[in-house]
A and B are shown apart, each in its own frame.
Chain A
Amino acid sequence: MPAHETLGEMLAARGISRRAFLKYTSWLATLMALPPGLAPAMADELAKARRQSVIWLSFQECTGCTESITRSFSPTLEDLIFNFISLDYHHTLQAASGAAAEHAREAAMAENKGKYVVVVDGSVPTRDGGIYSTIAGISNLQMLEETVADALAVIAVGSCAAFGGIPKAEPNPTGAVPISQIVRNKPVINIPGCPPIPEAMTGTIAYLLSFGKLPEVDALGRPLAFFGESIHDRCYRRPFYEKGLFAKSFDDEGARSGWCLFEVGCKGPITYNACATLKWNGGVSFPIQSGHGCLGCSEPDFWDKGGFYRPLSTPLRDITQAAAVAAGLGAAAGLAAGALHRAVKKDAAAHHHTVTVDNLEKSS
């Protein structure tokens, strides 16, 4: 496409009307809880925008994030995003390979200097000079530093890019770090999740195009529109929690009756994400609706929090002894419990406790 062409002109040439823009921004307004009256103005802005150059870097990851964003059913509403962006480099999806692929990345960087968006999935290994993950003979660390130098913004998708994720889980053999630890002089938006909800990824990019700025984020750099509320606060099982009706195991009467999964380890109360409202696979369901507690995958270090089936309210070790000592010293028992909890978590992290079937039976 000619560089000066707007999205409106470009899509008109493909027979996509301005109604499609309005439909898209109406959907975006719903997704991001924006005032619905904004949709027509957003549609006009989007139509005036240029196609956004996107360079997608995949580092220490499992490709689940790419799977999530490319999940689509038929050419419809959700696919329009692929007309709004120009995915100039994505080594899993692009047809070019080898040196030609790297040239595509370099060409996009040169043509759109200062204007391209870098999307990163996966963490970056830093130990031993970053040799544990390389692409075309270039270490992830070097490729990231080189590619973000002239970027407009960086979007870290998935918990690995946002927080280090599973590669960073103890004992972190590759010295994996999140993107925000390396990119210091550019805005970094985190869209965690394992994988993230596709609408959270595409919605953030579409917001950038419509408003020419990045959305508001929380303390962990996550867009508030998608990560502003906890799973627990928007969970349809919440009324059972309020009434004290809990499933005690996955095959008891409570589980069959759809009661709250807090006591079988649900991390909904400490997890901020939009699963309970946007849901998955086109709004079909989400883990709790399918009968399993939330794993907390959009929170930092979710893998090292002492077990997916351990209720949040249980300390990791018997606290009575430590609490007694604390009481003797005049400290608040809660403080001691907190300190112990942190110590045990550190210990669990250091020794990399794995969850076995026995653990599951003990906690049920």
Chain B
Amino acid sequence: MNNTVPLPCPDAPASLLRPVLAEIAALLERLAATGESGRIDLASLPLGPGDAAALEEALGTGEVMAELLVAGRSTVRETAYAGVWWVRHFGGDDQIATETIEITRVPEILLSHPADIAAAARRLGDHTGPASAGATDAITEDGPDAGP
């Protein structure tokens, strides 16, 4: 998927940069008009040498850069085009396992999952006593570490 040694190739195949940018533009227009998200898996495209780097340069860097530590490392970066995100998941040996361009308001991997939120609420509740109407007061008065 990602080679550390440049491989010999008799002539570079025609660049896929323009068609990929056109697809991203179409998905972004759809997001703007309907709110529907889209995704492009970079591994599914027969990108030529240098195409991925050219695409990265063409899309630029936006305001958000996030690093996730979840089953290894992942990075999420908004490009210079709001709503166009570059998501990289790393596997063993910090090799890129999968790379997608996500056209969305916020990539799903950044959102806390409802199941995790519910579990977290229970866990925090164990620290602070029953999660009732008085729970907030208990935290402000006694601090989060106070036992029941």
Contact = CB atoms under 8 A, between A and B. Distances in A.
Interface of A: 8, 12, 16-20, 22-24, 26-27, 29-30, 33, 36-37, 39-40, 47, 72-74, 76-80, 236, 239-240, 243, 245, 257-258, 277-279, 282-284, 289
Contacts of B62: none
Contacts of B1: 277-279, 283
B9 to A, nearest CB: 6
Contacts of A37: 37-39
B108 A40 contact: yes
A239 B71 contact: no
Contacts of A257: 8
A22 B97 contact: no
A80 B70 CA distance: 11
B97 A30 contact: yes
B4 interface: yes
Given A37-B39, A77-B72, A283-B95, A27 B2 contact: no
A65 to B, nearest CB: 19
Contact of A24 (B43, B71, B92): B71
Given A27-B98, A37-B38, A239 B10 contact: yes
A26 B89 contact: yes
Contact of B70 (A20, A36, A40): A20
A243 B43 CA distance: 26
Contacts of A24: 71
B44 to A, nearest CB: 6
A77 B98 CA distance: 11
Nearest to B40: A36
30 contacts: A8-B115, A19-B116, A22-B113, A23-B89, A23-B109, A26-B89, A27-B97, A29-B98, A30-B41, A30-B98, A33-B44, A36-B39, A36-B41, A72-B92, A74-B92, A76-B90, A77-B90, A77-B91, A77-B97, A78-B91, A79-B71, A236-B9, A239-B10, A239-B13, A240-B10, A278-B1, A282-B91, A282-B95, A283-B96, A284-B95
Contacts of A258: 7-8
B38 A77 contact: no
B119 interface: yes
Contacts of A18: 113, 115-116
Interface string B101-131: 0000000110001011001000000000000
Contacts, number: 108
Contact of B108 (A22, A74, A243): A22
B141 interface: no
A81 B95 CA distance: 18
B52 to A, nearest CB: 14
A248 B13 CA distance: 25
Interface of B: 1-2, 4, 7-11, 13, 37-41, 43-44, 68, 70-72, 74, 87, 89-93, 95-98, 100, 108-109, 113, 115-116, 119
Contacts of A23: 70-72, 74, 89, 109
Nearest to A234: B46
Residue among B40, B96, B119 having the largest count of chain A Cβ atoms under 10 Å = B119
A33 B92 CA distance: 20
Contacts of A279: 1
A74 B13 CA distance: 36
A107 to B, nearest CB: 31
A258 to B, nearest CB: 4
A76 B113 contact: no
A77 B39 contact: no
Contact of A30 (B37, B43, B68): B43
Nearest to B110: A19
Nearest to A74: B92
Contacts of A78: 91-92, 97
